[in-house]
Structure 1
Amino acid sequence: MHDQASVLRNLASREKHKSKMRVIAVTSGKGGVGKTNFTVNLALALAEYGQRVIILDGDLGLANVDIAFGLTARYTIEHLLSGEKTIEQILLTGPLGIGIIPGGSGVQGLANLEHDQLANVVVNLGRLERMADLLIIDTGAGLGHTVINFLQAADDIIMVITPEPTALTDAYGLLKTLRKEAGEVPIHIVINRVKTEADALATYKRLEVAVSKFLHGSLNLLGWVYDDPLMGRAVMQQVPLGISYPESSAYRCIQWIAGTVTGIYLSPPRQAGGIRGFLSTLLRSF
């Protein structure tokens, strides 16, 4: 794996871009907290702010970003890794020009590329830098090896939690792992399905106190999303909430969060590594 990362760094050094795409990984400590729906609607809200966004579906078990947009993926990242297709050929186009890279189990193939394959993938994924300002990775939930690799390679992490005690326990477990594996990556918390602002703040406070006391770390509250029955209706319709019910309370919260994310992107606390920096770190960790 060290040799593969060295090859990637050499390839990456041949092309330098003044503007680097920012990589944001969206994750959760457990499944069922609304992570993918949040990711899809965050992408829509960011596109409304004028950001060019591409989503990489990095959930190996439940790759369903395309389904959330009402699309069907004919090709996935596996076809890119095999050399059968280019990045442009596998990239789906969603509403507002949002790009979707169908991933599924194919993302694990990044760890097993030969030199010629690696060069092809770097050239293809390198073109994303000209296509988008932000790459959002919808990771799987929990502490899987591939999930941790994605998180430690990202420029920023957004962790979606809910007020349920089990969600908080699992979120703490993931934060404990990230403290060891991805200590330098800023972690932003979004609390989903809250009844009131007070519920959101109380949930965040419980998690923040535990992290400060036992992990000696810090978090950033990015925002919260109200529990909204229209979200469930949008999921059943396979039309993102931001399109089917743009005036809903949940989507207004996500628009507010997107505004904050845009601010982070414009004035980042740490320099973005771009797609090549992301790939270099990712491959080194496999």
Structure 2
Amino acid sequence: MFNTISNQASKLINLTRRNKQLSKTKLITITSGKGGVGKSTFTGNIAYLLSSRGFKVAVIDADIGLANMQVLFDIKPKFTLFDYIEGKITIEEALLQTSYKNLFLVAGKSGYQYANHSNSFVFARIVEDVINLNEFDIVLIDTGAGLNEYVKEFLAISNNILAITTTDPSALTDLYALMKMLSKDKEELMLCFNHTRNHQIGDTISNSLINLAKKNRLNDNFMVKYIGNVSTSANISTTGRLRKLFSHEFKNDDSTRQLQAIIDTLLKNIK
């Protein structure tokens, strides 16, 4: 199925790649196999920390029908990506300035009926249009959970894919399904563990997943790169309920320092 989607998207992907050569913008897709692993919170805080380093960052809320990035950024969006897709606004109007310097959001819309856009790659085209502006250093796509057609659409157009998971067995099972799918068409997957006590736990589990992939003879050229972990912190849930970013409110928290280390590694690996 992913191969089918990739074939459908080939013209769009090739066009996006050509435009990237003319654009400074780096595209990173953040995903997870299972819901509830903290992916959106991770994305919002990574975006803020990147912007605080001087990068101009855009976040695209690609959790189709279940958008929540505007909650994290405490924005009541006047427009969403669906307004742009339907031709009601320009791409510039779709990019909403957050309260954080250098950080913009293309908001999604919860409960949106999107059946009319099925398998048409209209969602992926908004990514290309943001990149073509050549205004942003980094564009982050926050996908939905699982491996539905819309998630696959955003994965197909990105060479920088970062998966967020936990040590929960069901989350690891879904992560391995993601690895199997991506290994057919992609060169690598970056991996972060959320809610883990220390870096070593994520490293050990990552190695186990890599060994399992070798045992099951996944693509030998496909690489899984473990780039860090974020430990559990009460500050994360507290600031989330207050519609604030914990990395902004608690700059010296262990979780914030761990995110900074992840960014250091991420910036070295993105293409």
User: Which residue does the alignment assign to 2:151?
Assistant: 147
Cα distance in 2 for partners of 1:7, 1:160 equals: 26
Give yes or no for contact 1:211–1:218 (8 Å, CA) kept in 2: no
Structure 1 residue aligned with 2:209:
207
Over 3 Å counting, the alpha-carbon distance change for 1:5 and 1:191 in structure 2 is: closer
Structure 1 counterpart SS, 2:183: helix
In 1, Cα distance between the equivalents of 2:240 and 2:253? Answer: 14
**Alpha-carbon distance in 1 for matches of 2:8, 2:210:** 39
Aligned to 1:275: none
Q: Which residue in the other structure is 1:271 paired with?
A: none
Return 5+ residue gaps in structure 1 as ranges: 269-286
Matches within 5 A, 1:41-60: 41-60=45-64
Does the 8 Å contact 2:230/2:259 carry over to 1? yes
Kept after mapping to 1: 8 A contact 2:206/2:226: yes
CA shift, 1:124, in A, is 8.9
Unaligned 5+ segments in structure 2 are none
One of 124, 149, 171 as aligned partner of 1:167: 171
User: Does the alignment pair 1:229 with 2:231?
Assistant: no
Task: Give the drift of 1:107.
Answer: 7.9
* Aligned 8 A contact 2:35 2:146 in 1: yes
1:173, distance to aligned residue in structure 2 (A): 1.1
> In structure 2, the residue corresponding to 1:96 is in which secondary structure?
coil
What TM-score results when the alignment is normalised by the length of structure 2? 0.83
Whether the aligned pair in 1 keeps the contact of 2:25 and 2:131 (CA below 8 Å) is no
Q: TM-score, normalised by structure 1?
A: 0.79
Question: 1:207 deviation in Å?
Answer: 1.8
Output the aligned Cα RMSD. Answer: 3.1
AA of the residue aligned to 2:252: E
More helix by share: 1
> 1-side partners of 2:12 and 2:46: how far apart?
34
Identity of aligned residues (%): 27
1:78-227 to 2 correspondences below 5 Å: 78-94=82-98, 95-104=100-109, 105=112, 109=117, 112=120, 125=129, 129-180=133-184, 182-184=185-187, 186-214=188-216, 215-216=218-219, 217-227=222-232
Cα distance in structure 2, aligned partners of 1:86 and 1:110: 22
Partners of 1:201 and 1:139 in 2: how far apart? 24
Compare relative contact order (CA 8 Å, sep 6+) and give the higher one, 1 or 2. Answer: 1
Instruction: Give the one of 247, 250, 264 matched to 2:252.
Output: 247
In 2, the alpha carbon distance for the partners of 1:146 and 1:75 equals: 20
